[in-house]
Every structure is written in structure tokens, then in C-alpha cells.
Amino acid sequence: MDNNAQIRVEDWGRTRYGEALERQLITLNERRFGERPDTLVFTEHEPVFTLGKRRGAAEHLIADQRFLESKGIEVVETNRGGDITYHGPGQITGYLFIDLSKSRDLHLLLRRVEDMIIAVVSSYGLSCGRREGMTGVWLDQRKIAAIGMAARHWISFHGFALNVSTDLTHFKGIVPCGITNGEVTSLAKELGEPIAMATVKDRISKEFHRSFG
């Protein structure tokens, strides 16, 4: 844990999605009532497909029960923005609890988070950026990070999911984020070598301090 007076970074380790969502709401209220500073939380979820609030998101779940059971994947409806996505081992999920009471601009925060992940992915020598009309971080038509945010009482929650060494076959059970003209990738796939999760978290933490500290 980083006890910087302005911001904090925590790691919840491996979690089930429902457990992490409950903890998010507790953390959100702690931020709302000034019991903690702006905070970035890391976690690595057990395999799960999460459905966002975008209309038609459920239609992009194409896996049948046999696929879900064979892969050990849960399906959970959630209250973030966006479509359907996957969380699982080998993926860094980052939840951000940022006070937006002054800016009241969740879209601006989303773009700042995209910039943060772009900087991290670029630090590995990969050319990445945005894709017009879409959220997340892309290498041409290959999506390496998804972003879906929400806010309550002008405190943000939810955040990003960066594929480090994720089992990409799990994405075959969905149309990721409703995108039919692209594919999903990971740092390990792009670089052709194992990537240490701790190193990626360290780089994200440094960018978080730089951007929000």
C-alpha cells in the first residue's frame, strides 16, 4: 500500500468479481466521506464475463453453458458503462476511486486513464493509441486494454483491464465490447515472451502518480 497523502495504490490480489464489486462500493464511500485519498486498486479476477449497461450487451454473449462450464467462467451483470468484457487471470484490472466533484467530467477521466495505459504499453516498445469512436487502448485493430467507468456521488469506480498474459481463448465466448472488426491481444502475445505482472503494476503505479499525484 502507498500511503501518499494525495493518492494511494492498493492491491487486492486475486478476487471473484462479486466480492470485488462489494469492496468497490465500500471504497467509494470511504473516498466520498474523506476517509481515503484518490485511490487506484489492482486486482486479478477469477474468470468472468461482465455485462455493462449498454443496450444490447447481453446479445454479445455467444458462449453456451458448456463453454462457460469448461472454462470455469461466471457471467455477471454490472453497473459500469460499456458492453460485455472478460476478466481473468493474467489480466490486471485497475479500479479508480477519484473525486470528480470539481470537474464533474467522467469522460475526461476515462481519457486520462486511456493516456495512462497508453504510456505503460508504449514503455514496452509497442506502438499503441486510441481507435476512433471506441474506448480502450489499441495496437492498430488489436485491443489490449478495455475501459469502463462509472460514478456515484461524483466519485468514480470501475476502471480498466489490461491484458498481460491473459488466456485469450476465453474471449471467444463473447463479442468483446461489441466489436466485430477487431481482435483482442496481450502484452505477452505482442512481445512473444512472458511478462511479469509485478513489473507492469509498478509501471502503472508510476504513471498513476505522475497523472494524478
**For residue 3, pLDDT beyond 60:** no
Question: Per residue in 78-114, is it b (16+ CB within 10 Å) or e — as a string?
Answer: bebbbbbbbbbebbbbbbbbbebeeeeebeebbeebb
One-letter amino acid of 206: K
* Tally of CA atoms within 13 A in the half-sphere of 106 that contains its CB: 17
Q: What angle do CA 6, 28, 100 make, to 5 degrees?
A: 60
pLDDT given for residue 197 in this prediction: 97
- Among residues 148, 144, 182, the alpha carbon closest in space to that of 166 is found at 144
Domains of the chain with bracketed CATH: 7-212 (3.30.930.10)
Catalytic residue, chosen from 9, 149, 177, 187, is 177
Q: What is the pLDDT of residues 66-106, one digit of tens each?
A: 999 999 999 998 888 778 889 999 999 999 999 999 999 99
**For residue 2, pLDDT beyond 90:** no
**For residue 56, pLDDT beyond 70:** yes
Q: What is the pLDDT of residues 4-36, one digit of tens each?
A: 458 999 999 999 999 999 999 999 999 999 999
Q: Is 177 an active-site residue?
A: yes
pLDDT given for residue 162 in this prediction: 98
Long-range contact pairs involving 17-23 (C-beta distance under 8 Å, separation at least 24): 17/45, 17/46, 17/48, 17/50, 17/74, 17/76, 17/78, 17/87, 18/76, 20/45, 20/93, 20/95, 21/76, 21/78
pLDDT given for residue 29 in this prediction: 98
